[in-house]
């Protein structure tokens, strides 16, 4: 149940693709967190899409020849391991290429789609008046599965 921030240039994706992007990326994240299919986890997976005017999103070397994308996944520490983070990043990059209707180009993607993770330590994520923690989250999802 991550909080996801997506930053991209305005107009980088067709409107229909931009509308589908949050759901797609959220489901990718839930899959690698082991929480896919949990209505509880889905309700607490929030996606913020930040479209930035093209002149405000540049590389130091100049205007990028193609749109560049930044994804920040904020999750509880320990919820997703390193291997899963790597797989998640690849899947997100490939999704962008699909939404753009561009052929997959792994080499090009290295300079266009970046994925970052912010792992929040236990006790540093407050939800309402309580502390969000991994054991409680896992127990809640397990109870949900048994219903």
Give the CATH number for residue 49. 3.30.429.10
Domain that holds residue 82: 3-146
Task: Determine the 3-state secondary structure of 131 from DSSP.
Answer: strand
Q: In the chain, where does DSSP find H-type helix?
A: 15-33, 39-43, 82-100, 106-109, 134-146
* Global pTM value: 0.89
The Cα–Cα gap between 142 and 50 comes to: 33
Nearest Cα to Cα of residue 97 among 72, 66, 74? 66
56-81 pLDDT, tens digit each: 988 899 888 999 999 999 998 999 99
Task: Determine the 3-state secondary structure of 14 from DSSP.
Answer: coil
Overall domain count for the chain? 1
122-143 pLDDT, tens digit each: 878 777 766 666 777 777 777 8
The Cα–Cα gap between 79 and 116 comes to: 15
């Amino acid at each position: 149940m991550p909080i996801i921030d997506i930053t991209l240039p305005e107009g980088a994706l067709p409107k229909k693709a931009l509308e589908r992007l949050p759901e797609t990326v959220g489901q990718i994240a839930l899959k690698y967190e082991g929480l896919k299919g949990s209505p509880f986890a889905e309700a607490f997976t929030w996606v913020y899409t930040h479209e930035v005017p093209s002149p405000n999103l540049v590389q130091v070397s100049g205007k990028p020849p193609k749109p560049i994308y930044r994804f920040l996944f904020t999750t509880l520490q320990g919820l997703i391991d390193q291997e899963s983070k790597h797989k998640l990043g690849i899947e997100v990059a490939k999704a962008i290429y699909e939404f753009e209707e561009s052929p997959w180009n792994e080499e090009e993607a290295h300079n266009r789609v970046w994925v970052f993770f912010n792992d929040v330590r236990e006790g540093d994520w407050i939800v309402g008046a309580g502390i969000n923690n991994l054991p409680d989250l896992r127990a809640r999802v397990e109870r949900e599965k048994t219903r």
